[in-house]
Structure 1
Amino acid sequence: MNPIGLELTFTAQDVANTRFAISPLGEVVASVRVVKNPAAHALLRPWAEQARERLAGVHWELLSDLVPVPTVSIVGFVCPPPSIAVPDLEVELATMRSLAHLVRTDLDAWGVPRSKRLDALYADPERGLERLAEEIRRYWAAAIEPYWPRIGGLLGGDVLYRARRLVEGGLRSMLADLDPQVTWEDQTLRLPNAYFSGVRPLRGLGLLLVPSVFAWPRILSVTVPPWQPTVRYPPRGIATLWERSGAEPPEALAAVLGRTRAILLAELDQPASTRDLALRTGLSAPGANQHLTALRRAGLCTAHRTGRQVLYARTAIAEALLGRDADT
């Protein structure tokens, strides 16, 4: 392993073009590594154990072949960087299916021995990508979609957090706690990488930052043309993703707000959707929404739309009432 890793150099144009996105397809592809080798992903094992059961009888062999373990690299056509901030899975699959012209070149450069399924993909890229898209839909329905309210909430919450850091302290502040091994100095972002090293200019395209639950514990990067340079990183709060917090609000706060609303505030350690909060607290979705609306009107939480869902986050006033540091 080269300790230097990757160095991504920024120009003023790159800073201006840096953006965030959430990628359902990226979560599918990264999660395959976890299903195939759960021992290497301790924080994700609760999900992996359930996912392996849910995937019993589901055919995803071609997808599996395209994500070998250990994963040195993944061919570009399988998981292209998202072009919009919050695409749904079908939008990303449509992009993937449009990349048949890259299949043979990418597989030739990949350097991984080809299985019979990969040979079939190579021989007929259009038909092969249709098969891959269908496998991904089945895999998503079994292993990711049941957990997406919480996963999507965590990813969206991280984007909101970093947007706030960017506004308050600029790019340095936003990137400062991306990962303990990531540093920003002299217009250069330095990333750990076990397999590649060197300096990569961003070519004026800026950096695409994609929070990814299933990237953990690694920072995953794409720096080769034609894609926008992309970094996939684990979001904040991943250690408690599969746990029910059982958050208990202060009794004095519950006496003023009512226990249900106080519990909802306590559950918002990370931004979350109405559906996720309803699942955690045992409320109906309409009931949770009614209480959240009241809390928002009182200035105790804010609502932010990310794609098709609305994420609620505590305000500084709520943090103070709960006796917590608003920056944690």
Structure 2
Amino acid sequence: MRCARLGRAVRPCSNGSVKRLSLTPDDLLRLRFAHSPMAEVVTSALALRSTSWEHARWRSRVAPRVSPAVLPTLWRVLATPNGQIPDFLTPPPQTARPTLEAELSAIAATPPDRVAAELWAAGIPCADPAAVLPALITQIRRYFQVALAPLWPRLRAAAEAEIAHRTSMAAFPGPRTLLADLHPRLRWDPDALQLDYLKDTDHPPWSLDGHPLALLPTAFTGAHAWIMESPSGRSLWYPPRTLGLLFAAPAPPPAPLAALLGATRAAVLMLLTMPSSTGDVAAQLGLAPATASHHLTALRDAGLIVALRSGRRLNYRRTDLGDRLSALG
């Protein structure tokens, strides 16, 4: 995987990083969004080895249960000597919302010679690549169940809210605004995406070479963004707009809002900056599910929130009126 990381710290890949991504008008028309489970697997595994503050609570809970002693093959492949992640672990999404099993099927279908070549490039000699994949896939499933499954509805809801926001921007002011504020180190000019790095190094222009660019809101990128170039596709992983709300402990509601709605109902309204289900609200605020449902119904009947179905999941989010009321301070 040829990649470049943007943010507080740079994790260089063995073959360098990218400075300027040239985009033609046709490239802009072929931009697509998706949310990738394997992108969250890879970035969350890197977050476990970092000191990022936004993931500290999650890391303290999860790290002992997914250590290298528990998942040796997974960590051998991810904690590579040169920091390069094998490309076959992150297949470009074929749909907007791929499942983990769909992406694992793509990984399982990787030819053994490609597995061996990419592990070798990452500094991991592999004499029997066909034997690596079954163990790796089993351990990815186990990692996902422990580290990500409890958070998955909220991770997916955050990605869907981000995608909805971006697609509305495509309608107005227009497609070029899709890239306007994806990340503080990304700047858009009339024909290229400019990438500002911590090191002042010259880089040759980079193009999509006929590939569509997949934009992947990925919560575990944290404050970073990742550009990925591989033989099978091009993608940009970046944090969704509601990242800070995913991992932070709920803050108390402003006193005026609590006086108006009641402390618990005000806390529910404040929590719905990002889409959340009844179960999410109950878990975040320590409420019984029936109590959370009661407050959500009252807020919905008052026009402060709306319910939106995503598959079998019912998410609630604030309306414009709810946003204005939440600004009371």
Same fold judged by TM-score > 0.5?
yes
1:161 matched to which residue of 2?
Answer: 165
AA paired with 2:218?
S
Give distance in 2, aligned partners of 1:310 and 1:107: 41
Match status 1:27 vs 2:27: no
1:120 to 113, 124, 128: 128
Q: Which runs of 5+ in 1 are unaligned?
A: none
Give distance in 1, aligned partners of 2:178 and 2:277: 23
1:200 matched to which residue of 2?
Answer: 206
Shift of 1:181: 0.9
Give distance in 1, aligned partners of 2:209 and 2:263: 53
Give distance in 1, aligned partners of 2:26 and 2:278: 38
Q: CA RMSD in A?
A: 3.2
1:158-189 superposed Cα distances (whole Å, 9 cap, x missing partner):
22333333333223433222111101112211
Check 1:98–1:290 CA distance in 2 against 1; reply closer, same or farther (3 A cut). farther
1:60-81 superposed Cα distances (whole Å, 9 cap, x missing partner):
2121122226764311111112
1:26 and 1:79 in contact (8 A); partners too: yes
Check 1:187–1:90 CA distance in 2 against 1; reply closer, same or farther (3 A cut). same
Check 1:252–1:155 CA distance in 2 against 1; reply closer, same or farther (3 A cut). closer
Shift of 1:142: 1.8
| Within-5 A mapping of 1:219-230 | 219-227=225-233, 229-230=234-235
2:115 to 103, 110, 117: 103
Check 1:323–1:32 CA distance in 2 against 1; reply closer, same or farther (3 A cut). closer
Check 1:252–1:63 CA distance in 2 against 1; reply closer, same or farther (3 A cut). closer
Match status 1:209 vs 2:215: yes
State the secondary structure of the residue aligned to 2:173.
helix
| Within-5 A mapping of 1:143-154 | 143-154=147-158
1:7 and 1:199 in contact (8 A); partners too: yes
Match status 1:64 vs 2:70: no
Shift of 1:259: 5.1
1:280 to 284, 300, 303: 284
State the secondary structure of the residue aligned to 2:104.
helix
1:38 matched to which residue of 2?
Answer: 50
Match status 1:245 vs 2:250: yes
Q: Which stretch has the larger CA shift, 211-220 or 195-204? A: 195-204
1:10 and 1:206 in contact (8 A); partners too: no
Check 1:196–1:172 CA distance in 2 against 1; reply closer, same or farther (3 A cut). same
1:75 to 86, 90, 96: 86
State the secondary structure of the residue aligned to 2:223.
coil
Check 1:177–1:252 CA distance in 2 against 1; reply closer, same or farther (3 A cut). closer
Shift of 1:306: 4.4
1:285-326 superposed Cα distances (whole Å, 9 cap, x missing partner):
45534543553454322334445534322111111222369x
Match status 1:268 vs 2:272: yes
Give distance in 2, aligned partners of 1:68 and 1:156: 30
Could you say which structure has the higher helix fraction? 1
State the secondary structure of the residue aligned to 2:172.
helix
Give distance in 1, aligned partners of 2:314 and 2:299: 15
After TM superposition, the score normalised by the length of structure 1 is 0.81
Shift of 1:134: 0.3
Give distance in 1, aligned partners of 2:221 and 2:81: 13
